[in-house]
Structure 1
Amino acid sequence: MLKPHQPNIIEYAYILGSIKGVDGANLSLYEVDQETENVKITLEGSDINFKDVEKAIQELGGSIHSIDLVATGQRLIEDVGTLMD
């Protein structure tokens, strides 16, 4: 996610973690420049609504760059290395 310096990642984490269906939110700051911050967000929950997450991020002035991993189903499958990695 790309976001302005304010609000900070603590506020983002609190708001994203408060969304219905989200059981946990983990935010990591990866890059900072003069106007923006690049943040990795990991959300976990049994019924996360992507539109609610996207709306919250946009309302806070951020934007989603990419979605790199999605897991769903009755059980989670552990990610393992392959020849493509």
Structure 2
Amino acid sequence: MLSSDREVVCKLVLDVLKPHNPSIVDLAKSILKVAGVKHVRISVQEVDVNTETVKIVVEGEGFDFEKLKKVIENLGAVIHSIDEVVIRKV
């Protein structure tokens, strides 16, 4: 019997460099608008003169990484690395 399971992203942990504006609250609200995203947690790791290094934890069910990346980049931030990923079958 063939399996019809599909794999969906349920959690990503991202290391991101962002400008001071937008705030982490506004960044989190923008990420939360991506279809499938249910929870966003952002913590500041380091602050420089013009930028902040933040850890972003995104959780949900089947959200699209490329759409998430586009939202982050449109706000002037850059993803340095994907530090953790959780994918499950549904």
> What is the TM-score with the length of structure 2 in the denominator?
0.80
Equivalent position SS for 1:67: strand
Q: Distance in 1 between matches of 2:24 and 2:76?
A: 12
RMSD of aligned alpha carbons: 1.2
Of the three residues 1, 4, 8, the one matched with 2:23 is 8
The structural deviation recorded for 1:74 is 3.8
By relative contact order (CA 8 Å, sep 6+), the higher-ranking structure is 2
Which of 16, 23, 45 pairs up with 2:38? 23
Q: Distance in 1 between matches of 2:76 and 2:32?
A: 17
The match for 1:82 is none
In 2, distance between residues paired with 1:73 and 1:22?
15
SS of match in other structure, 2:85: coil
Match among 62, 65, 79 for residue 80 of structure 2: 65
Give ranges in structure 1 of 5+ residues lacking alignment.
76-85
Consecutive aligned runs of 4 or more in structure 1 exceeding 2 Å deviation: none
List per-residue Cα deviations over 1:15-47 (Å, max 9, x = no partner): 101111101100001100001000000000111
Give the number of aligned pairs: 75
Structure 2 residues without counterparts, runs of 5 or longer: 1-15
**Number of the residue aligned with 1:38:** 53
TM-score, normalised to structure 1's length?
0.84
Q: Which structure has the highest strand share of the two?
A: 2
